[in-house]
Amino acid sequence: MSPSVRLWLPLAPAAVVTLYWFVGFAVFIVRSAIWGVRHDRDLEARGKSILIGNFLKSFFSWIVRPLWRLVLASGISPNGITLVAMLLGGAAGVSVASGHFALGGWLFLLSGILDTFDGRLADSAMLIGLAFYFRGSWVLLPTLAAIFGTSMVPYVRAKAESFGIAMKDGLMQRPERVLTLGLAVILSPWVEALWPAAGGHSSQRVAAISLLVLAITSNTTAVGRIVRLLAALRHGAPTPLPAAATAAPDKSRTAPPRPRLVRT
């Protein structure tokens, strides 16, 4: 196999997926103009998103419906979806830790898509894998900061909800994290191949930049939520909810959640 074939062959799946999403986006725009936007109320209820608005959330819900139908037809439980997504996330972390960034990026994006069916996964495995890969580089510092920030964002939200305070807004939430980090990790090896760094060292510059952005935005989101929570508590927060009311529901006996699509 020639060097050029080895370089571009892994890009073939990306080309197919990209074509599917671009064609799907064009079709979705036409459908929305004729019949109205099919809103996914479940995704929109997760809070406002700076980079991904409700229109893109609705498009995402529509474009992944074939995968959702496949999952539903399989009869897999929500706990099973969680397990598969966790395994994919773990595999993504192992892949990037060993330097297989393109594979790790695709596994991470697929894990994120499955997470929309359940919504309980974290980004830890991917970030830990990146921390291992960059362990001898300055990039380790923003990676550790990103791990801290992405852990604090859901923690502050859970703490706020325990006081009956909704805390869903923010600059860098899970959809943005999956999209930003996943695409950056996928594209990083191709940038390195097309524009080699000085000395021939593979520094994975795109992934490093995305980690720096993620570290800043996730911690900014966490700090912003802490400030809003403290302000709400000073002004008299609602009565804390009982532990049973704030605990995650048992989904082991239920079917995977079906997106609630509403035309407007």
The pLDDT score that the predictor gives to residue 210 is: 93
pTM here is 0.71
- Quote the pLDDT of residue 200: 57
Whole-angstrom distance, CA of residue 43 vs CA of residue 157: 16
Residue 74 has what pLDDT? Answer: 79
CATH of 3-263, one of 3.20.20.370, 1.10.3720.10, 1.20.120.1760, 3.60.21.10: 1.20.120.1760
Domain boundaries, the chain: 3-263
How much is the average pLDDT of 189-198? 77
Which of the given ranges, 74-88, 134-148, 243-257, has the highest pLDDT on average?
134-148
